[in-house]
């Protein structure tokens, strides 16, 4: 079949919940993707910050092949070795004490919310607690995750959603303080807002919130689903600050293409939160995804990927600063590590579409941001190629 036939069949078979680009991807190699017509695309989206190792990493592929030959699923009624090893490695790099593996980032958020509510219930003996989340945040599409997503556009068609949620302004400590009541059990936010427009949290905000939480026995929940796993130059973005969350979530690059997420917590929270019967999952933490997580963490350590991100992100930032200065309709550049955004007065969807014609994949964030979240293995030559292709598009625009 040709490309259009594939697209037509997909539109007839799949529920239309995405406005997809007219591109049928077939295979990947390194930091590039290829479509069914054999066209090459430099990928600066990484499957929305998922493919941290790029495509076709041999050690990663072999780990999954080996596990398929051995065992893929048993259920959580039994122990399995790959997930035990993955858990130990994840706790080592995160500094947390307990972890629960899920199937997705949204499920990790759901679990984090449940853990916080159960902690408060155990402490106080009642169940009417509240959570403070941030405006312009994004935490997922399930009902619980939608309830803490600070964008009315996503929430309104599905209301009423789970209650007890108050919204404050990101990077505004006074706004958060104004929402605290004697029912507040947790404060939840992305360490770097992704869908909201690539906004890193300020040091004053993060450390101020952490101090508030400690003072009032409120749990600090940090969403590291997109900004974690080395993307900012630390394994987790919160490690840039002098704090430690009570609960954190992870997904996306945690499995580098295998559907897996996680929420992790300190021992203090674990002792007073979820117990047998409170939470579960059929597929979460099965041997196959455990092997994937374990391989990802091994490869990141062996290849010193966080150090590489720190180095290459400086080069990328310089290129993006130059572009922002050159084109008047690019009004701002912000980001951290390999999570970067350019604010545009021109339609960002049109820019992303034009980039495809140049063999470059980028995505958008919010209503006016071009988002660049490439594989963590990019080199200077890839940044140079991206800048060349991107500038050709901006010149036409």
Burial bucket for residue 339 (CB in 10 Å: 0-12, 13-18, 19+): buried
238-293 tens-digit pLDDT: 999 999 999 999 999 999 999 999 999 999 999 999 999 999 999 999 999 999 99
Give residue 2's pLDDT band: very low, low, confident or very high (50, 70, 90).
confident
Tokens (6 digits) for 173:
């400590």
Spell out the domains of the chain, with CATH numbers in brackets: 3-57+304-396 (3.90.1150.10), 71-302 (3.40.640.10)
- Check: CB of residue 359 under 8 Å from CB of residue 42: yes
Q: In the prediction, which pLDDT does 150 show?
A: 97
Q: What is the mean pLDDT of residues 373-385?
A: 98
Buried b (16+ CB within 10 A) or exposed e, 365-395: bbebbbbbbbbbbbeeebbebbbebbbebbe
Region of residue 233 (left: phi > 0; alpha: psi -120 to 50; beta: else): left
Give the separation between CA 36 and CA 23, rounded to whole angstroms: 9
Give the separation between CA 259 and CA 253, rounded to whole angstroms: 10
43-99 tens-digit pLDDT: 999 999 999 999 999 999 999 999 999 999 999 999 999 999 999 999 999 999 999
Give the separation between CA 226 and CA 3, rounded to whole angstroms: 31
**Which among 111, 95, 101 is positioned nearest to 235, based on CA atoms?**
95
The pTM of this model reads 0.97
- Check: CB of residue 116 under 8 Å from CB of residue 131: yes
- Lateral strand order in the sheet of 330-336: 330-336, 339-344, 369-372, 363-365
133-184 tens-digit pLDDT: 999 999 999 999 999 999 999 999 999 999 999 999 999 999 999 999 999 9
DSSP type of residue 18: -
Give the separation between CA 89 and CA 185, rounded to whole angstroms: 29
What lies within 8 Å, CB to CB, of 246 at 6+ separation is 116, 186, 213, 219, 220, 221, 265, 266, 268, 269
């Amino acid at each position: 079949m040709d490309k259009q036939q594939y697209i037509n069949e997909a539109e007839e078979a799949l529920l239309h919940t995405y406005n997809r680009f007219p591109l049928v991807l077939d295979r990947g190699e390194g930091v590039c993707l290829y479509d069914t017509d054999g066209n090459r695309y430099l990928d600066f989206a990484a499957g929305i910050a998922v493919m941290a190792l790029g495509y076709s990493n041999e050690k990663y592929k072999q780990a999954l092949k080996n596990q398929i030959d051995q065992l893929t699923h048993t259920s959580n009624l039994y122990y399995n070795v790959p997930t035990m090893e993955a858990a130990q490695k994840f706790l080592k790099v995160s500094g947390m004490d307990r972890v629960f593996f899920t199937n997705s980032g949204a499920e990790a958020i759901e679990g984090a919310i449940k853990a916080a509510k159960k902690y408060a219930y155990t402490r106080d003996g009642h169940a009417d607690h509240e959570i403070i989340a941030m405006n312009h945040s994004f935490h997922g599409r399930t009902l619980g995750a939608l309830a803490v997503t600070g964008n009315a556009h996503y929430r309104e068609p599905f209301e009423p959603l789970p209650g007890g949620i108050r919204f404050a302004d990101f990077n505004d400590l006074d706004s958060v303080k104004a929402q605290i009541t004697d029912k507040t059990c947790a404060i939840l936010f992305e360490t770097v807002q992704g869908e909201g427009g690539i906004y890193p949290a300020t040091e004053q905000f993060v450390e101020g919130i952490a101090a508030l939480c400690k003072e009032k026995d409120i749990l600090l929940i940090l969403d590291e689903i997109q900004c974690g796993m080395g993307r900012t130059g630390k394994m987790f973005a919160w490690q840039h600050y002098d704090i430690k969350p009570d609960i954190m979530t992870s997904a996306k690059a945690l499995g580098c293409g295998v559907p897996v997420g996680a929420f992790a917590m300190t021992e203090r929270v674990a002792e007073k939160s979820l117990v047998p019967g409170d939470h579960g999952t059929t597929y979460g933490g099965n041997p196959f995804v455990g092997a994937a997580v374990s391989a990802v963490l091994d490869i990141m350590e062996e290849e010193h990927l966080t150090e590489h991100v720190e180095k290459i992100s400086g080069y990328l930032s310089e290129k993006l600063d130059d572009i922002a200065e050159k084109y008047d309709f690019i009004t701002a550049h912000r980001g951290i590590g390999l999570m970067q955004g350019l604010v545009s007065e021109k339609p960002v969807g049109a820019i992303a579409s034009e980039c495809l014609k140049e063999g470059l994949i980028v995505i958008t964030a919010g209503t006016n941001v071009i988002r660049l979240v490439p594989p963590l293995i990019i080199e200077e030559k890839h940044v140079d190629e991206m800048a060349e292709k991107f500038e050709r598009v901006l010149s036409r625009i």
